[in-house]
């Protein structure tokens, strides 16, 4: 593969996104970690204890952290709020995954080419 790069370590963050009744895991962040695997593992564990993707007010969230393998964590975060019309608080939760990965290959995206003129365009452009 052209542009191949190896030996770089990343912490990957995947969030579970809902899309009209379905859901999918989307890669939402790639954090390059200087150093090796051990530094990446340390950074990933730190992120599992503090990160709430897309939020800076992380102290308002509860969290449950599961280590699912040597290099992966599943984090559930919860947030409590109170609607004026209810006589009790509500809690929302969502979850995300954090994993450590070594970059083994990369290739630039080929440039897009303009569409070719079809027969209709050729006929119209003759005039």
Q: Are the C-beta atoms of 79 and 87 separated by less than 8 Å? A: no
pLDDT tens column, 34-69: 999 999 999 999 999 999 888 777 788 899 999 999
- Would you state the pLDDT for residue 1? 44
pLDDT tens column, 98-114: 999 999 999 999 998 88
**What does pLDDT average to over the chain?**
86
**Taking the complete model, does pTM exceed 0.85, yes or no?**
no
Assign residue 65 a region (left: φ > 0; alpha: ψ between -120 and 50; beta: otherwise): beta
Mean pLDDT value across residues 76-101:
89
Exposure string for 66-83, b = 16+ CB within 10 A, e = fewer? eeeeebbbbbebeeeeee
């Amino acid at each position: 593969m052209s542009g191949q790069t190896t030996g770089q370590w990343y912490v990957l963050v995947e969030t579970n996104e809902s899309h009209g009744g379905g859901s999918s895991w989307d890669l939402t962040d790639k954090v390059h970690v200087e150093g090796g695997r051990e530094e990446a593992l340390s950074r990933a564990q730190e992120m599992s204890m503090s990160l709430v993707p897309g939020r800076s007010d992380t102290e308002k969230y509860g969290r449950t952290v599961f280590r699912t393998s040597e290099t992966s964590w599943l984090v559930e975060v919860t947030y409590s709020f109170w609607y004026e019309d209810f006589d009790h608080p509500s809690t929302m939760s969502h979850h995300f995954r954090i994993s450590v990965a070594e970059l083994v290959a990369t290739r630039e995206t080929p440039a897009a080419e303009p569409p070719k003129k079809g027969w209709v365009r050729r006929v119209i452009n003759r005039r």
